[in-house]
Each structure stands twice: as structure tokens, then as C-alpha cells.
């Protein structure tokens, strides 16, 4: 087992990374837990529900299981209210532990429920998609979507542990692996040029879920995210760089409808768009833009965005959480391995869109 520690004011906690960690979930549950609430979805439940329940049963605490619908389309206030109703009907108190077993949607919505139910109960992230393992389960961002914007209603609320079982990735479809790898290569783009090069050299192993390669990729991604979150828990500065590609990507998801493109697919495409904008605004070398485009393509993510119309693009990006006073801020790359956040001239944005949007 490898361990990455996250150290933040909101609560320090370990990320455990190992095969078969689902069989050891009880070790992350505090002894003073009054009960355990396992929240999962209709896709994960048939695959890993029994294993998780058997593992948590070792705690000898009352165990309640809530199975939700699967998909980004259900990351809503309506689903959140379903969770509240379940918790209240089971008389769950403030010493309970919520265990989020699933991908980013389950982790985000369960975490937000944990943050707000009785003003906060403890929760554990057990991410089952690659994207959730390397990104959304780490750092305490919890949220639900609104029809006008993704993740616009939420809270910063840290888990007490993140348990990552690398073996669960074997049941993911290739499209989900591609989506997760987009977030992996993001860390190289913004923080670690050597890791980006390693991803280029090992892309086929990563897509094939080679045990050694994927374990290292998860560990290094979590290390890099833990560093950023430790420096800036609530995204007042440095943490914003983790949103590389997300300003474009969230616009795609919102415009097309949540779930049409996977989050990682939209982010992957958005990173290509951010690279083009970086070339236009900061002079990122064309060679680096093409390296980014080629790697995004190699992992299996789209590199051309849907044609939403310039006005629609701008309208959607103005809703982005980094926007201030209607001005859109973008994460840009002076070079691979380094990122900054800034506004850009509208003509530069127009040129970048023209190069990355389908005709």
C-alpha cells in the first residue's frame, strides 16, 4: 500500500492506494462511529456493493445502504434531497460516517450531503473511477450541479480518508479510463514537466491499466494535488491552476447537457483549447501545443470542441467560478509544467476558439 497525506486546515487525512483495498474499508472507520451510511449507485452496487458491505460489517455498527441513479444528470438538488430524506428516515446522527462508493458524482454529492447534514458529519471517499481517484475524491470539493452551471452549489469539506482500490479500474469501460487519464496528464501540464513526458512515454501502458504504470500515475497525481490543496485549501490562489481546461470543459458539459460528454473528455478537449489560448496569449511554443494535442488524442479524448457559437461560449464561461465581475479567467501555460491564471484579450480567445471548435 502507498499512502499520500493531505494536510489542510479543514482536516488532515490519508489517501490509501492499493489493490483490494475494498476488503479493508473498516480500517478507515473511526471506533466512535454511531453508524455507517454507504452511498453508491446502480452501476457500482452490483459490482462492489457486497464486497463493501461485508468489509464495513467488520465494524459491527448499524449499516444503511442507499443506491442512487448513475450519471452526471442525477447530480442535482433533487438527488441531494433524496439523501437527506434517507438519512433522516434512518435517524442518522452526527457521529455517523458516510462512505461514498462510486465515481465523481457519488463522491461530490455524498460529500456535500455530509458537509450540510446536521451541519457536518464525517465521510470517507472510496472512488471507483480513475478520474475520481486522481482528482475529485481528493481535496474536499463537494457540490451539485445547477441547470445554469456545473458544480455551482457546494462546499469545501474534507473527507477523513480516501481509499483507492486500483483493481476496480478493471471493470471500467475504455471511455472512462480515457476520461480519467485527462486529469492525470493535467498534473504534468501544470506542475511537473517530467511527469508529462513520462505520461507520453507510457500512454499505452496507462490505457491498458498496466499495474505498475497506473499505480504510479495515481500516486503521483494524488501527490501533486495534495501539495496544491495543502498550499491553498479553498482556492484563493494556487489551487485555481487545477482547473486547467475546466473553463472550456464546463461550458461544453453545460451546453450539451450533463453526461453527454464525460467530465474528463470535456476537460481533455478543454486542455487543448487552453493550450491554443496559451500559445496565442503567452507564446507557448507550437511544439508544446502539439505535444498536448497528441497526448490528449492518444489517451482517447476529443481534441475538437462542439460549435456552440462564440456568444454562447462566452456566456457559459462567464458563469465559471474563477470569473470576476463578468471577466473570464483562464488557466494558461507559459510552458509545460507551469501554469498561471489570468484574463485574456477577447480577440485571443476568438482565435483560440476558431482553432479548436468544429466548423
Measured CA to CA, the distance from residue 125 to residue 20 in angstroms comes to 15
Q: Where are the beta strands (DSSP E) in 19-84?
A: 36-41, 63-68
187, three cell numbers: 498534473
Long-range contacts of 280-283 (CB under 8 A, 24+ apart): 280/344, 280/348, 280/351, 280/352, 281/332, 281/342, 281/344, 281/345, 281/348, 282/332, 282/333, 282/334, 282/340, 283/334
Output Rg (C-alpha) for the chain, integer angstroms. Answer: 20
Alpha carbon of 38 to those of 87, 344, 350: distances in Å?
11, 44, 46
Residues belonging to the active site: 119, 141, 183, 225, 235, 239, 243, 246, 250, 263
Residue with cell 449507485: 41
If one counts every other C-beta atom within 10 angstroms of the C-beta of residue 286, the result is: 11
Largest CA distance in the chain: 62
What does the alpha-carbon distance between residue 32 and residue 139 come to, in Å, rounded to a whole number?
A: 24
Q: 217, exposed or middle or buried, with CB in 10 Å at 0-12, 13-18, 19+?
A: buried
Question: Are 40 and 70 spatial neighbours (Cβ–Cβ below 8 Å)?
Answer: no
Query: Strand pairing of 141-146 and 122-127?
Result: unpaired
Asked if residue 270 lies in contact with residue 253, where contact means CB atoms within 8 angstroms, the answer is no
User: Taking the alpha carbons of 44, 46, 47, 52 in that order, is the dihedral positive or negative?
Assistant: positive
The DSSP result for 308-335, as a single string, is --HHHHHHHHTTSTT-BTTB--EEEEEE
Q: Is 70 left (phi over 0), alpha (psi -120 to 50) or beta?
A: beta
> Comparing C-alpha atoms, which of 256, 230, 265 is closest to residue 5?
230
User: DSSP label at 35?
Assistant: -
Amino acid at each position: 500500500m502507498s499512502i499520500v497525506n493531505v494536510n489542510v486546515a479543514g482536516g488532515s487525512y490519508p489517501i490509501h492506494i492499493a489493490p483490494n483495498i475494498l476488503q479493508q474499508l473498516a480500517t478507515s472507520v473511526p471506533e466512535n462511529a454511531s453508524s455507517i451510511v454507504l452511498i453508491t449507485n446502480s452501476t457500482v452496487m452490483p459490482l462492489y456493493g457486497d464486497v463493501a458491505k461485508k468489509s464495513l460489517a467488520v465494524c459491527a455498527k448499524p449499516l444503511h445502504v442507499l443506491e442512487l441513479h448513475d450519471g452526471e444528470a442525477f447530480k442535482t438538488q433533487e438527488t441531494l434531497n433524496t439523501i437527506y430524506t434517507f438519512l433522516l428516515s434512518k435517524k442518522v446522527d452526527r457521529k455517523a460516517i458516510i462512505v461514498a462508493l462510486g465515481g465523481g458524482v457519488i463522491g461530490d454529492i455524498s460529500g456535500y450531503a455530509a458537509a450540510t447534514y446536521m451541519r457536518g458529519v464525517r465521510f470517507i471517499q472510496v472512488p471507483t473511477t480513475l478520474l475520481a481517484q486522481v482528482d475529485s475524491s481528493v481535496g474536499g470539493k463537494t457540490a451539485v450541479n445547477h441547470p445554469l452551471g456545473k458544480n455551482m452549489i457546494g462546499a469545501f469539506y474534507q473527507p477523513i480518508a480516501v481509499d483507492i482500490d486500483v483493481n476496480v479500474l478493471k471493470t471500467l469501460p475504455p471511455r472512462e479510463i480515457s476520461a480519467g487519464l485527462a486529469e492525470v496528464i493535467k498534473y504534468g501540464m501544470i506542475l511537473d514537466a517530467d511527469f508529462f513526458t513520462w505520461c507520453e512515454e507510457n500512454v499505452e501502458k496507462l490505457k491498458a491499466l498496466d499495474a505498475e504504470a497506473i499505480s504510479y500515475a495515481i500516486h503521483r497525481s494524488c501527490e501533486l494535488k495534495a501539495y496544491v490543496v495543502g498550499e491553498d485549501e479553498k482556492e484563493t490562489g494556487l489551487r485555481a491552476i487545477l482547473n486547467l481546461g475546466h473553463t472550456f470543459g464546463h461550458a461544453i458539459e453545460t451546453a450539451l447537457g450533463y453526461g453527454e460528454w464525460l467530465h474528463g473528455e470535456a476537460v481533455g478537449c478543454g486542455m487543448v483549447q487552453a493550450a491554443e489560448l496559451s500559445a496565442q496569449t503567452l507564446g507557448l511554443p507550437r511544439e508544446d501545443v502539439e505535444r498536448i494535442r497528441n497526448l490528449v488524442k492518444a489517451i482517447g479524448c476529443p481534441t475538437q470542441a462542439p460549435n456552440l457559437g462564440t456568444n454562447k461560449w462566452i456566456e457559459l464561461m462567464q458563469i465559471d467560478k474563477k470569473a470576476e465581475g463578468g471577466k473570464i479567467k483562464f488557466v494558461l501555460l507559459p510552458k509545460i509544467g507551469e501554469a498561471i491564471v489570468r484574463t485574456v484579450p477577447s480577440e485571443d480567445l476568438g482565435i483560440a476558439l476558431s482553432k479548436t471548435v468544429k466548423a
